[in-house]
Amino acid sequence: MTHQKNTVVALLMCGTALPLCTTTGALAQDVVSLDPIEVRREDPLGDAADQASSVYVADAEIDRASMGDLKDLFAGVASVSVGGAIPLAQKIYVNGVDMLNLAVTVDGVAQNNRIFHHASANAFDPGMMKYVRVDPGVAPADAGFEALAGAVSMETIDANDILEDGETFGGQARLSYSDNGDIFGTSLTLAQKTGGFELLGYAKYVSGGEYTDGEGDVENGTETDLQIGLIKAAYEADAGHRFEFSAQQMADAGTRNAKANFGSTSAATYLYEATRNVVSLKYENTQAVGLWDPEISLGYSSTEIFKPEDYDSNGITDTLSATIQNTFHLANGADITTGVDYISKTGTYSTASTGVVSGSESFDNVGIFTQARFEFSPGFDISTGLRIDHQNFTDTDGGEYSNTGLSTNISATYEVSPSWTVRGGYSSVFGGIPIEDNFLFSDDWDYSGLVEVTRGENFILGADYGSGNLTFGAEIFRTRLNDVRTSDWDRTSGSYVAGHGTYESSGYNLSATYDWTSGFARLTFSDTQALWNGETTSNYAVLDSGTALGQVLAIEMQQELPDHNLVVGGAIEAARGMNVYDVQYATDYSYAGYAVLDLFAEYHVPNVNDLVVRVTVDNVFDAKYADRATYGAEYGLETLAEPGRTISLIATVEF
C-alpha cells in the first residue's frame, strides 16, 4: 500500500466533516500490529537464549498508550502489574517483584531514582517510546548493575521512526479528550533529516481535573498536569559511525493526597512537583562486523519531588552512568560482549523552604562484564555471562562500606521439534547496598545492622508451542532476594534501624496468541505468591521488594474491518479475589477481585491516509476497583481507585 502525505486542506475538510470522506476499500493507513512477536523479530538479540523469556510490548500497545500512562502500556501483560491510578503513584511489578530491583534503562541510561515509597521512581511517557522489553528474573551480564530480578529496556523515538524513506521533514500530532475529569491532551512530534544529520523534537501537555470512580465519587488528588518534552539529535556517517544525543523531561505539578498512592483520607490535597530528567549520549557503528563492534554510552537521570506543604520537603535522587563495551562477532556465529560500566547514585533530602540538606546516601559502582551468546548445536542455543562489581556506599552519617561481588547467569533454549521449544535460565546477582527513600533521611539512623549485601537468585523454566497462527507459552519462575535492606522505625530511640530480610516471589505464567488474516488476539495469565522470610505476608512488610498479586488475567483483541475503514477491539483485565495470611502480624487480609472491560474503535479516514480517529470506552461497566498492584488494598484504607467509565477521543495525524 502506498503511504502518501496529504494537504492541510484535505485534513481540515475531513477533520470537520468525517462522513463526507467515506469510501469503501482498504484501510487508509497500515494497522499497527498487536503481535509482540513482530517486535522480537526486529530486536537484533531477539533470538538470543537470554531473551527467550523476555516480554515485548507490541507496537499497537505502545501506540494506544501514547496519550495514557504506564498502566495502559502494560495492560496486555499479566506478569507486569502497574499499581496506582496516576503517573506519580504508579509502581511497576514484574513477576511480583518491585521494578526497583531490576536494571531499568532508557536509551541506555540507568534509572531507578527512588525518592519516596508513596510515589513512583519510574514514571515514563509511553508517547515517546518506540521499544519496550522486560527481562523477568534472569538478565544477561550486559544489562548492567542492579539487575537483581531482571531488567527493563526502553528506547525513545528518533527521526527515522517518523520519516519515510526519502523524506527530509515530517511529523505527527495528537489531540485527546477524556470525559472523566475533563482531561485534554495534545502532543506534537517534528523530525528532520539532512544528509547524515537527524533532529527530532517531541512535546506533550495533558491537563484536567479529578476523575470519578466506578461509584461516581470524586477521587481526590488525581488531577492531571503533565508537561513532557524530548529532544533527540544524531549524526550517522556513511561508514556507519553513529552519534546520538537525547534529553527528556517529564514534569507533574498536580495536587495530591498527603500520600500520593493512597486514596483520600481528608479533603486536603498538597502540591507534589515531580520532575524527571534523562540525558543520553551514545556512540555505535551500525555497520560493524567481525571482531570490532564498539558501543559507548554516557547518561544522567534524576527524579525530584518538591513538596512545600505538609512536609516542607524536597527530595532528589540522581544517577550518572557510563558503559563502554565491544561485541566480538565470531566466525562460527557466536557473539561475545565484553565491557565495563559505572554508576554513581545519590539520594538527598532537604527542607523545601530553606534548602538546608538533612541527609543523603550515595554509592559508586564499577562493573566488568562479559556475555557469550552462541549455538551449542543445531537447535540448542546458550547465553551465559558473568560480571564483577565493586561498590562503595556512603550512609547519612558519612560511614563508608566497600563490597565486591560476582554475578553469573546462564540461559538456554532447545528446539524439540519445529513446533516445540523448551527454555530455562538461572542467575545469581550481586546487588550491593541500595539507597533508601530519601524522605527518610531527615531522621537519625542506626546502620549497625547493615552488615550484608543484597543478592538476587532467579530461576525460570518454560516451554513454547507455535503452529500456524497459534502460539502457547508456559513457564514457572522463582525470584529470591536475599538480605534485602530493611528500615524499621524505633520509637524508643527515635531513629530508623537498618536491617535485612528475605523476599521471595514464585509462580507461573501462561500465554497464548492467535493471528488471523484481519485480526489478532492475545491472552496472558499470571499466578504469583509472595513470601517474606519464608512466610506469607501482606504488602507492608515487602514494601519496595514486591507485592502479593495472586491470579491476574489480561486479554486483548483487535479486528480489522477494511470495508468500513475501521479497526475495533477491546481488552479485559481481571484479578481473582484472594486471602493472604500475614504470619508476622497474625492477621488474615482479604483482596477483592475484579474484572474490567475496555473497548475501542479506530477510524482510518480514507483520502486522508494519515488521519486516525480513535474512540475508547474504558471500564465499560463502571466498576469501582483498585488495581491488584495498588498499595494498601488489604488494610481497609481508602485505596486509590481506578477511574470509572471513561470515554476518550484521540485524533492522530501524520504530515
Going along the chain from its start, the domains and CATH numbers come out as 8-654 (2.40.170.20)
- What are 63-83's pLDDT values in tens digits? 999 999 999 999 999 999 999
On the 0-12 / 13-18 / 19+ scale of CB atoms within 10 A, 307 is buried
Contact 55, 464 (CB under 8 A): no
- pLDDT for the residue numbered 27: 61
Q: What is the pLDDT of residues 13-28, one digit of tens each?
A: 343 333 334 444 446 4
Place of cell 524513506: 165
Query: What local confidence, expressed as pLDDT, does residue 11 receive?
Result: 35
Q: How far apart are CA 255 and CA 150, in angstroms?
A: 34
- Which three cell numbers, joined as nine digits, stand for 566? 475501521
Rounded Cα distance between 618 and 577, Å, is: 21
Q: Give whole-number Cα distances, 640 to 85, 208, 626, in Å.
A: 7, 17, 6
**DSSP per residue over 188-218, as a string?**
EEEEEEETTEEEEEEEEEEEE---B-TTS-B
Q: Going by DSSP bridges, is the β-strand pair 103-106/150-156 parallel, antiparallel, or unpaired?
A: parallel
User: Are the beta carbons of 206 and 188 closer than 8 angstroms?
Assistant: no
Question: What are the φ/ψ torsions at residue 341 (nearest 5 degrees)?
Answer: -135, 160
- How far, in Å, CA of 150 to CA of 137, rounded? 4
CA nearest to 504, candidates 477, 525, 486 = 477
Which segments in the chain show pLDDT lower than 70? 1-29, 636
Distance CA 60, CA 273 (A): 31
What nine digits make up the cell of 553? 488475567
What's this model's pTM, rounded to 2 decimal places?
0.94
The cell numbers describing 125, all together, are 511517557
What cell was used for 614? 480513535
CB 362 within 8 A of CB 346: yes
Whether 264 contacts 299, CB under 8 Å: no
